[in-house]
Amino acid sequence: MGGDLKDGRIVIVGASLAGLRAAEKLREEGFTGSLTVVGDEPHPPYDRPPLSKQVLLGQAAPRSTGLPMRLDPQVDWRLGVRATGLDPIGKRVLLADGEPLPYDRLLIATGTRARPWPNPQEAALDGVFTLRTREDATGLAERLAAGPRRVLVIGGGFTGSEIASACRERGLDVTVTERGPAPLIGALGGTLSKLAAAMHRNHGVDLRCGVTVTALRGDAAGRFTGADLSDGSRLEADVCVAALGAVRNVEWLAEAGLAAGPRGIACDAGCRAFNMYGIVTDDVFVAGDVSRFPHPLFGYQLLSLEHWGNAVAQAEVAAHNMVSPGPLRRPHLALPTFWSTQFGLNIKSVGVPTFSDQVVIAQGTLEERRLAMVYGYQGRVTAAVTVNMAKSLEYYQHLIETAAPFPPAPGASDRPLAAEVPIPSDVPDPKGLSHGPTVALTGHLPDRRLTVVPTAG
């Protein structure tokens, strides 16, 4: 083998953002061999973030979010075809229909799917949705346009909050239930979750925290009519959206001998998959939401990210490394970054906010709904979140990348007094939440099992 890395057969499993950008990058890097992309959805690659925003607001059609190509990657598209297995010795991808696909190098970019409501009969009620696919968005947008009396959103993570925001903007009554103490707390910690809760309530959301939905109810015709809550109350609603986070699409790899599990497929910084013995492969690569990869800025813990920007950046690194010999390969070191638009606020994050013990508000205030919050872990800056202050984010990104001391030095802050008083970051155990963090630390950090006692100011 060895041969010419720019030639041969490359198969990409996963036809969404990471799969498309990897295919383009392979051609940009001079790959001239055969390129096949397999996707279980029948659609060409499409963008998902607008599905919980423009599409639910009725400003864009669900079918309109097809992703533009940077260049035509000259791909044999196998769409609507599910990959059912991987034979790593015979180097073949098994398909639900058709002959197995032989490969020289494989990229796995199968992403995630919405975590369904756990009771299948209740989940099948007419009017109960999840939101991940174009079909989900089509169905939900139609129901919202029909003017339901009330919408129930289960889970106060980013997706649930964006859905609630869209409902209120359409003038619809909406209830959000969250098992944890506040929305977004799993991703942003205690202080910003209080702002999130205030935004929900100020915009007229019936926000119920510390409760769970114990049952969904339907009528004789199988239509969703409401829900029972753990506090004993009952709720009447016409539409329900389960926004309970994501499940990684790894089941098809059960027999493949890879380090694949509920948190994703473990890979090295060069996007090469580990097998189940922890030995790195050299012909199977991973990118996007389905990957778990080590990051030196966060204790070399494996990170699982559900971020648009990570899918693009990691796909490009994987593609480069698939057609480059060892010494020319690159590490995927991009910092996690994401955004959310809800209740008129633009929330952006860089770094890993859950990798923190303290925070300071470095610029702005909660009252202004305009601020930059900096997260620290053991005296070093590890993350920053801006609310309506996106232009500041790049500066804090630099602090994270250079492991700058926390609290940030004067000059990094317009309110030196505030920066002198770090407050606990109050990141809860995700097990207690309805929503998952979209950045998950999946390594071992022994000291995080201890109670953090803030030092006296």
Partner 1 sequence: MRVVVDLTRCQGYAQCVFLAPEVFQLHGEEGLLYNPAVPDEQLERVRQAAAACPVQAILLGAEVNPDGR
Binding-site ranges for partner 1 (CB under 8 A) = 20, 44-45, 47, 49-50, 53-54, 57, 59-61, 64-70, 72, 74-77, 79, 307-309, 312, 337-339, 341, 343-346, 348, 370, 388, 390-391, 393-394
Token couple for 241 = 């959206």
Query: Please, are residues 169 and 152 in contact by the beta-carbon 8 Å criterion?
Result: no
With respect to partner 1, which residue has the nearer C-beta, 32 or 119? 32
With respect to partner 1, which residue has the nearer C-beta, 76 or 236? 76
**Minimum CB separation from partner 1 for residue 170, in Å?**
14
Residue 41: name the closest of 161, 137, 140, 106 by CA: 137
Q: What is the dihedral of CA 289, 290, 295, 297, to 10 degrees?
A: 30
- CA–CA separation, 433 vs 222, rounded Å? 29
User: Which residues in 68-94 are b (16+ Cβ under 10 Å) and which e?
Assistant: eeeeebebebbeebbbebbebeebbbb
**Minimum CB separation from partner 1 for residue 337, in Å?**
5
With respect to partner 1, which residue has the nearer C-beta, 160 or 407? 160
Distance of CA 270 to the CA centre of its chain: 21
**Minimum CB separation from partner 1 for residue 438, in Å?**
13
With respect to partner 1, which residue has the nearer C-beta, 126 or 401? 401
With respect to partner 1, which residue has the nearer C-beta, 309 or 430? 309
**ω into 183 cis (within 30 of 0):** no
Pairing of strands 380-387, 370-377: antiparallel
Distance of CA 451 to the CA centre of its chain: 28
User: Which residues in 211-245 are b (16+ Cβ under 10 Å) and which e?
Assistant: eebeebbbeeeeebbbbebeeeeebebbbbbbbbb
**Minimum CB separation from partner 1 for residue 34, in Å?**
12
**Minimum CB separation from partner 1 for residue 368, in Å?**
11
With respect to partner 1, which residue has the nearer C-beta, 359 or 393? 393
**Minimum CB separation from partner 1 for residue 190, in Å?**
24
**Minimum CB separation from partner 1 for residue 133, in Å?**
16
With respect to partner 1, which residue has the nearer C-beta, 64 or 121? 64
Cα 254 to Cα 74, 78, 86, 109, 265, distances in angstroms:
31, 22, 9, 16, 11
